Amino acid sequence: MKIEFVAEAGKSPVIAVLVHEGQPLAGPAAALDARTSGALSRAMKASRFNGAAVSSLAVMAPAGVDADQVLLTGAGDAKTYDDLALESAVGHAYHAVKLSGADTLTVDLTGETPQRAARAGFAARLAAYRFDKYRTKEKPEKKPSITRVRVVTDDVKAAQAAFEPLSAVADAVIFARDLVSEPANVLYPEEFARRCKALKSLGLEVEILGEKEMEKLGMRTLLAVGQGSVRESQLAVMRWNGAADKSAQPIAFVGKGVCFDTGGISIKPAEGMEEMKWDMGGAAAVAGLMHALAGRKAKVNAVGVLGLVENMPDGAAQRPGDIVISMSGQSVEVINTDAEGRLVLADALWYTQERFKPKCMIDLATLTGAMIISLGLDYAGVFSNDDAVAEAILAASPKTGENVWRMPLPAQYDRMIDSAAADVKNASGRAAGSITAALFLQRFVNGTPWAHIDIAPTAWVKDSKRPTVPDGGVGFGVRLLDQMVADRYES
The region that residue 412 occupies, defined by phi over 0 for left and psi between -120 and 50 for alpha, beta otherwise, is alpha
281-295 vs 189-197: helix crossing angle, rounded to 10: 10
State how far Cα 175 lies from the chain centre. Answer: 10
Count the neighbouring beta carbons within 10 Å of the beta carbon of residue 237: 19
Where would I find the H helices in 36-155?
39-45, 83-97, 114-127
114-127 vs 83-97: helix crossing angle, rounded to 10: 50
Rounded Cα–Cα distance for residues 80 and 228 (Å): 52
DSSP assignments along 455-476, one per residue: -TTTSEESS--STTS-SEE--T
Beta bridge partners of 205: 239
Where would I find the H helices in 250-406?
281-295, 341-356, 370-375, 387-400
- Is the separation of the CB atoms in 281 and 455 below 8 Å? yes
In the DSSP assignment, the letter for residue 413 is G
Catalogue the long-range contacts made by 193-199 (C-beta closer than 8 Å, 24 or more residues apart).
Answer: 193/234, 193/236, 193/306, 193/308, 195/287, 196/236, 196/238, 196/287, 196/306, 197/236, 199/238, 199/287, 199/290, 199/291, 199/294
- If 0-12 CB within 10 Å is exposed, 13-18 middle and 19+ buried, where does residue 285 land? buried
Count the neighbouring beta carbons within 10 Å of the beta carbon of residue 132: 12
Q: Show which residues are catalytic.
A: 268, 342
Could you report how far apart the first and last alpha carbons of the chain are, in Å? Answer: 33
Provide φ and ψ at 265, rounded to 5°: -60, -35
Distances (CA, A) of 445 to 323, 438, 488: 20, 11, 21
